[in-house]
Amino acid sequence: MLIVLAKAQVGAASMAAARHAIADMVAASNAEEGCIAYAFTEDVLHPGVLHIIEKWQDEAALAAHFATPHMAAFGAAIAGLDFKVIEAVKYHADNGAPVM
């Protein structure tokens, strides 16, 4: 399994438009074969900082994700916005276990 943790900075004037693009991206990504989970969250302590959390079955699923039409549409939607990915890292993981 792969876990992708990313962070983006979105300007206040761009947040409303970004939310629409993000909602479409999250729905389409979660419907992809090989996607275990895909979510964006806003940092409660740092307005405008978004955390992106993704879980993929394998490298092939992640590679297919980058080639999807909704990934291209998301890129086009945020291209004119004050939206900058500031970090993106993938981790190889096992299936995990409950913490408690």
* Residue 16, domain CATH: 3.30.70.100
Flag whether 8 is in a domain: yes
Flag whether 27 is in a domain: yes
Whether 60 and 34 have beta carbons less than 8 Å apart is answered as: yes
Flag whether 50 is in a domain: yes
Output the pLDDT for position 76.
97
Range of the domain at 83: 2-92
- Number of structural domains the chain divides into: 1
Q: Provide the residue-wise pLDDT of the chain in tens; the chain has 100 residues.
A: 999 999 999 999 999 999 999 999 999 999 999 999 999 999 999 999 999 999 999 999 999 999 999 999 999 999 999 999 999 999 999 989 999 9
- The amino acid sitting at 99 is V
The Cα 57–Cα 16 span in angstroms is 31
Flag whether 74 is in a domain: yes
pTM metric for this prediction: 0.92
Flag whether 100 is in a domain: no
Flag whether 98 is in a domain: no
The Cα 60–Cα 76 span in angstroms is 24
